[in-house]
Chain A
């Protein structure tokens, strides 16, 4: 059986998209969630200029790359900078406050861009050897008094890996935060192994289905972008010796281009 040029073009498009999807899977880093401190039934004092808020935590995995925080509401007028800093923690002072070492990452955001409805993401270059180390996230702002954002937190100390400090004073609370680390696709696919029966729990099957989907999409993309014109010509030829047409191959009625007349 010989295949026509149009068939080959469609297959080529399918293969190209599947190949692109495979490359993307292999080279991409996926932000895997490690820890979710969900409790958020409390709000801390507004973060105005001259004040600081510090939450210490232990990174569960290498490649710490993102921290999400939950803000209460944006009742500010005008724009202000919000600064997120990630610090090494060297130890703790006698009063329990952390001894900060080196600032290793920083992320700035304008208050106008802070996600208030959901959690706001602070993304940064992955910290390679973060597993098991204690860090501090330090949040400061340029907001004037009375016009500052507030962070949501628990109403008691629920997180066992650290504590929250406002202006150097420990609070009986923990920020509502999520920690992420960057990982490759196979690590990400480890997440589908629990409780799924075989072969649903197989990362190999997941990737195979993903690539098959990419190939199918590639063919459809080719078809939509113009492959249908050659396709229609082929179908017209086929009709000449077969009357069992499908709906999609029916000749157009006398209506307008593309649509049905009123």
Chain B
């Protein structure tokens, strides 16, 4: 054993007596990733002015409704409270549009657009909201944001575990994928606001992780039960989680076709998963339908004046808007990233698609060079496309789709991009190439926060 290895060995041995130290040493990559996630999220929390995360007044209004009415709101039947308008005036909500002051009538009757969201996120935040009673509304808002950092940190933890599962021999991918998520400007921005998107992304990533565990190594009813619980909770967080159901059905169908000897077990598992998930979330939708007579409130915001996917994608700016608001346009602050940045991001993702194809061919040619299994590429690409199509459909039906609607698929997205950019290289190069990619992402992230965003807030 070399001196260096011996020193490391001694270092571990000395720590054996302390469980916490030993755990930290063994999980130091995870711990450092989570510390970084907490730091980045905290910076965005501090930088973002009150009410400037997307729909933040509406989400905060939901918490106020829970507190004051002691009931879960119904879409179209919940309204903003005057103290929220008061705060908008005090903090000059319209200042972002250049107005020197904001003057909202405190008697305004305005429906809370977040009232149609399921209650889980707000229920989880509610104890923290109660704890801050007696403080100014802005202070409560910032305290809620700080508490919400936990969801972003947990998301990064799950992403790391998932990456370890998918790439057990590639530590650069294990750390690189969650790192790209931390450095994703819009994801961190959204993660810093009072809103349910990050919890949704956490549940969807956890769902995919557990689904992968089920496929790879643990086809048990207990795992199926756990997946069902995640699906139920995810659907109780935001309705767009329902895309997990077709994803799960497709995966179960594929397993049924491939693993003929496990068909009965798989059918039972599917039944448990769907049954448990519906038991957890079904009551909310039944209640809404019984009370309102509809699941989604009617109404549409027409932005593009088209009625089909093709025209939406190729005859409007929809794709550019989605791309910009996926990477970082911080629309509630009217702070878009520069066109050239978006252009380069698009070029890189297109390049990574070619690289991904090359990586797949390389893996088919020499198994030991394989960077990623074809079934993972197929599943992840399918999930991302499914979310893009769902956002398109939302645009056609309701209007106002944004890139953050793709965030549940953010782990698949960065996995495919990173593998596409580096997976076609010889394995010995991939680590350093990943370091280059994450360095570029870090520069983008710092530039977006410190040069583009912070100097424009007020």
Contacts and interface: CB of A to CB of B under 8 A. Distances in A.
A206 B46 contact: yes
Contacts of B216: 260
A126 interface: no
B427 A188 contact: no
A100 B418 CA distance: 54
Interface residues of B, number: 96
Interface string B88-123: 000100001111000000000000000000000000
A162 interface: no
A208 B161 CA distance: 28
Nearest to B374: A262
Interface stretch (A45-53, A91-99, A242-250): A242-250
B298 interface: no
A208 to B, nearest CB: 9
B445 to A, nearest CB: 9
Nearest to A6: B8
B16 A241 contact: yes
22 contacts: A2-B10, A4-B11, A30-B455, A31-B451, A32-B455, A194-B49, A212-B39, A213-B43, A216-B33, A220-B32, A220-B36, A228-B175, A232-B171, A237-B8, A237-B9, A246-B27, A256-B369, A256-B373, A259-B167, A259-B370, A259-B373, A262-B375
B456 interface: yes
Contacts, number: 244
A230 B8 CA distance: 10
B12 to A, nearest CB: 4
B168 A255 contact: yes
A31 to B, nearest CB: 5
B314 to A, nearest CB: 16
Given A231-B171, A248-B29, A248-B171, 14 more contacts: A4-B10, A30-B450, A188-B450, A191-B455, A197-B139, A197-B143, A216-B33, A225-B435, A242-B16, A246-B30, A248-B174, A256-B363, A256-B368, A258-B167
B164 A195 contact: no
B166 interface: yes
Interface stretch (B76-84, B267-275, B332-340, B406-414): B332-340
Contacts of B176: 224
Contacts of B26: 235, 238, 244-246, 248-249
Contact of B168 (A3, A36, A231, A252): A252
A217 B33 CA distance: 8
B315 interface: no
Interface string A167-210: 00000000000001001000011011011110011000110011
Contacts of A118: 336, 338-339
B321 to A, nearest CB: 9
A261 B8 CA distance: 33
Nearest to A37: B98
A181 to B, nearest CB: 9
B22 interface: yes
A247 B161 contact: yes
A191 B375 CA distance: 48
A121 B36 contact: no
Given A115-B339, A220-B33, A238-B26, A258 B371 contact: yes
Contacts of B39: 209-210, 212-213, 216
A31 B455 CA distance: 6
Interface of A: 1-7, 21, 25, 28, 30-33, 35-39, 115, 117-118, 121, 180, 183, 188-189, 191-192, 194-197, 200-201, 205-206, 209-210, 212-213, 216-217, 219-221, 223-226, 228, 230-235, 237-238, 241-242, 244-250, 252-253, 255-262
Given A220-B175, A231-B171, A252-B169, A258 B372 contact: yes
Contacts of B164: 247-248, 250
B457 interface: yes
A37 B99 CA distance: 8
A224 B172 contact: yes
A5 B32 contact: no
A237 B5 contact: yes
B137 to A, nearest CB: 10
B454 A260 contact: no
Given A35-B98, A210-B43, A259-B370, A234 B12 contact: yes
A215 to B, nearest CB: 9
Interface in B398-456: 423, 427, 430-432, 434-435, 438-439, 442, 446, 450-451, 454-456
Given A216-B36, A256-B370, A259-B166, A233 B5 contact: yes
A9 to B, nearest CB: 10
B214 to A, nearest CB: 13
Nearest to B51: A195
B167 A3 contact: no
A180 B359 CA distance: 45
B47 interface: yes
Contacts of A7: 8, 11
Contacts of A242: 16, 22
A262 to B, nearest CB: 5
A5 B32 CA distance: 19
Q: Which of B98, B165, B423 has the most CB of A within 10 A?
A: B98
Nearest to B173: A258
Contact of A221 (B336, B371, B435): B435
Contacts of A200: 45-46, 142, 146
A232 B376 CA distance: 25
